[in-house]
């Protein structure tokens, strides 16, 4: 009797399970016209059984804070049931399609995606390869972001390789699994004939997929990549991945990168690997994006996950996330031995020059630059330098000052590394959530015993930064080689175009700004002398001019000739460098060596 009951229970469980089967979502991606830059997407949605199903395309991709309207590249959207019968579809807003499914057991969606934009965050498809940014490719069922999903790739017959951080499904060729759509959207896919090689570091298998050729040295990339991985892992004490993928797009001239959970996409110049300066820049990009696998992808502000893929996700903390990463990327190169002391200090000084010589630094706090990334950073215009500051550069400088303050206050026993390791453990490992900015500050102070209120305050104001207060403590100083110089400044930038001199920028508060020079003005003459396209006459005038002189400048604007009187002001731009502090104490020198990994 007991055995019969057990069999009946098992039978009932089987019936219930089949009747109420969990929904399944599967994509198939193919390429019938790659030369025309198209991918065909089939989306199979099984066992939802609703009156209607809404499928949505994200409007942005994490890590790139701009609404990109990926749905603009979708066409030929249609839906049918498991028997091939067409289902009514209504587009209810810019990125949502409503399918009248009438409780059918299966809905099959077919659509095409156009991709022909070269970047690390958008699709690019041609006859040589396909790069798929998942947020720009795959739709999700409304309300089912947390649902698992499978993706099958059918490469074009001329392509032989697939590179992605997605987990392969055993026994199903070219099929990959994501535990949810957040992971899918965070796993770019490269399909083509890329050169693939691997190395192991920090106990993790790393794959490098080189797209587009180049004069790179495989063995050097593996060796140098391993050094960066080991140094970055040493900071956090643990590497959370079993496998990591670098997808590198090599162009005639390229750059940029985008971080992902267990992969990154990088842009590079295909023939720049044998040039030491270009190669170091590439290694800096590798270090930056790899550092993000902890700092952004796991340790993050609370606003950056779970994501709303329909709209902007605002945070004031990108100065911490991108800024700290921009500080550690060069610091990692220094620790790996790729940068010597003077090169590293000059890289920091370059950030100072960028920040302090930008008029927008005196108008926009760096925390507000973070919040406004959606409308400003990714949409620069001719006036951006006058109105905004970069949370990368200024954030890096604030990170430097935090590092130096902690080093000095703890006599070299702790530094920013210790803070990040503790924050990773506190928020990602233990609390499994993002942090509020005030929580991050409180953690710094709890871990180090050092008050950092003035630096967090500085992130929310435009008050001048006292760099030397922090640099002097470790035996260095910032010097301005332009200090005390009295030179005239016109206050504009130009370019030569079709035999004409065109104004490309006007700096706030300068003579050109006050005198009415506009971007896109064509410069014709100055003080009655015709200007040559090489700028020799303009340079001659500026070399003999003095502060307070008035220049008569003739311009063509919208087809009309205008004469403007411009009064030259004083050049206020600095020329900054970081150098050893004269007469540094033994303690300052000791701390400086710890900072720069010189001992």
| 389-to-223, 256, 395 alpha-carbon distances in Å | 36, 19, 10
What's residue 599's pLDDT?
61
What's residue 185's pLDDT?
98
Q: Can you state the angle between helices 218-236 and 318-336, rounded to 10 degrees?
A: 120
What's residue 558's pLDDT?
96
| 306-to-146, 224, 300, 309, 374 alpha-carbon distances in Å | 10, 34, 11, 9, 18
Is pLDDT at 533 greater than 70 in this prediction?
yes
Give the tens place of pLDDT for each residue, 139-174: 999 999 999 999 999 999 999 999 999 999 999 999
Average pLDDT over the chain reads 95
H-assigned helices in 123-192:
181-185
What's residue 497's pLDDT?
87
**Best CA proximity match to 222, nearest among 239, 208, 212:** 208
Helix (H) or strand (E) run with residue 164 in it = strand 161-164
Give the tens place of pLDDT for each residue, 232-253: 999 999 999 999 999 999 999 9
Residue reference for tokens 């049918």: 80
Q: What is the mean pLDDT of residues 270-277?
A: 97
Is pLDDT at 6 greater than 50 in this prediction?
no
Q: What is the mean pLDDT of residues 429-442?
A: 98
Residue 341 sits at the vertex; the CA angle it makes with 336 and 344, to the nearest 5 degrees, is 75
> Residue 163 CB: number of other CB atoms within 10 A?
23
Mean pLDDT lowest for which of 211-215, 218-222, 243-247, 532-536?
532-536
Is pLDDT at 124 greater than 60 in this prediction?
yes
Give 83's contacts (C-beta < 8 A, 6+ positions apart): none
Q: What is the mean pLDDT of residues 281-305?
A: 98
Is pLDDT at 304 greater than 50 in this prediction?
yes
Is pLDDT at 2 greater than 60 in this prediction?
no
Give the tens place of pLDDT for each residue, 467-516: 999 999 999 999 999 999 999 999 999 999 899 999 999 999 999 999 99
Cα 533 from Cα 524, distance rounded (Å): 9
Give the tens place of pLDDT for each residue, 459-479: 999 999 999 999 999 999 999
For the range 379-384, what are the long-range contacts, defined as Cβ-Cβ under 8 Å and sequence gap of 24 or more? 379/66, 382/504, 382/505, 382/506, 382/519, 382/520, 383/519, 384/360
Q: Return the percentage of the chain with pLDDT > 70, whole number.
A: 96
> CB–CB of 189/162 below 8 Å?
yes
**What is the arrangement of strands in the sheet containing 38-46, beginning at the earlier edge strand?**
86-87, 74-81, 106-114, 38-46, 24-30, 149-154, 175-178, 167-168
Mean pLDDT lowest for which of 17-21, 52-56, 563-567, 594-598?
17-21
What's residue 488's pLDDT?
96
pTM of the model: 0.94
Take residue 538 and report the two structure tokens written for it. Answer: 């303009």
Give the tens place of pLDDT for each residue, 361-411: 999 999 999 999 999 999 999 999 999 999 999 999 999 999 999 999 999
């Amino acid at each position: 009797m007991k055995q019969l009951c057990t069999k009946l229970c098992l039978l009932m469980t089987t019936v219930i399970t089949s009747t109420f089967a969990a929904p399944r979502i599967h994509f198939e991606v193919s390429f019938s016209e790659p030369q025309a830059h198209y991918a065909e997407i089939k989306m199979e949605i099984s066992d939802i059984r609703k009156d209607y199903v809404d499928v949505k395309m994200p409007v942005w991709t994490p890590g790139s804070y701009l609404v990109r309207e990926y749905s603009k590249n979708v066409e030929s959207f249609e839906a049918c049931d498991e028997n091939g019968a067409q289902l009514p579809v209504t587009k209810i807003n810019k990125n949502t399609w409503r399918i009248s499914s009438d409780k059918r057991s299966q809905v099959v969606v077919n659509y095409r995606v156009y991709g022909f934009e070269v970047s690390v965050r958008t699709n690019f498809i041609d006859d040589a390869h396909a790069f798929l940014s998942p947020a720009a490719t795959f739709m999700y069922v409304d309300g089912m972001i947390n649902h698992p999903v499978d993706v099958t790739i059918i490469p074009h017959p001329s392509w032989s390789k697939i590179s992605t951080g997605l987990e392969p499904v055993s026994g199903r060729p070219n099929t990959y699994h994501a535990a949810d759509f957040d992971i899918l959207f965070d796993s770019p896919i490269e399909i083509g004939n890329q050169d693939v090689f691997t190395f192991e570091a920090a106990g993790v298998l790393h794959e490098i997929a080189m797209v587009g050729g180049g004069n790179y040295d495989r063995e050097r990339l593996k060796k140098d990549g391993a050094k960066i991985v080991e140094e970055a892992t040493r900071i956090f004490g643990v590497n959370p991945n079993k496998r990591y993928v670098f997808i590198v797009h090599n162009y005639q001239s390229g750059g940029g990168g985008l971080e992902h959970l267990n992969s990154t996409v990088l842009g590079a110049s295909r023939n720049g690997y044998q040039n030491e300066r270009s190669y170091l820049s590439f290694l800096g990009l590798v270090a930056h994006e790899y550092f993000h696998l902890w700092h952004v992808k796991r340790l993050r502000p609370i606003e950056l996950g779970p994501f709303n893929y329909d709209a902007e996700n605002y945070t004031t903390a990108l100065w911490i996330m991108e800024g700290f990463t921009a500080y550690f990327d060069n610091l990692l190169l220094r620790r790996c031995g790729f940068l010597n002391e003077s090169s590293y200090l000059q890289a920091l000084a370059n950030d100072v020059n960028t920040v302090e010589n930008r008029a927008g630094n005196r108008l926009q706090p760096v925390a507000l630059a973070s919040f406004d990334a959606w409308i400003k950073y990714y949409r620069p215009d001719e006036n951006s330098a006058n109105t905004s500051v970069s949370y990368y550069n200024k954030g890096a400088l604030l990170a430097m000052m935090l590092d130096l303050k902690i080093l000095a206050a703890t006599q070299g026993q702790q530094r920013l590394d210790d803070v990040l390791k503790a924050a990773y453990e506190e928020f990602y490992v233990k609390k499994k959530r993002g942090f509020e900015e005030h929580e991050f500050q409180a953690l710094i102070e709890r871990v180090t015993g050092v008050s950092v209120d003035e630096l967090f305050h500085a992130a929310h104001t435009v008050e001048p930064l006292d760099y030397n207060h922090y640099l002097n403590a470790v035996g260095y100083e910032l010097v301005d080689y332009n200090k005390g110089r009295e030179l005239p400044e016109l206050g504009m930038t130009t370019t030569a175009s079709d035999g004409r001199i065109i104004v490309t920028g006007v700096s706030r508060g300068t003579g050109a700004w006050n005198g009415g020079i506009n971007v896109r003005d064509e410069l014709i003459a100055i003080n009655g002398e015709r200007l040559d396209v090489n700028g020799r006459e303009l340079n001659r005038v500026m070399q003999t001019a003095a502060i307070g002189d008035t220049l008569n400048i003739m311009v063509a604007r919208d087809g009309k000739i205008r004469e403007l009187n411009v009064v030259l002001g004083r050049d206020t731009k600095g020329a900054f460098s970081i150098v050893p502090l004269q007469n540094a104490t033994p303690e300052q020198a000791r701390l400086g060596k710890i900072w720069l990994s010189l001992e």
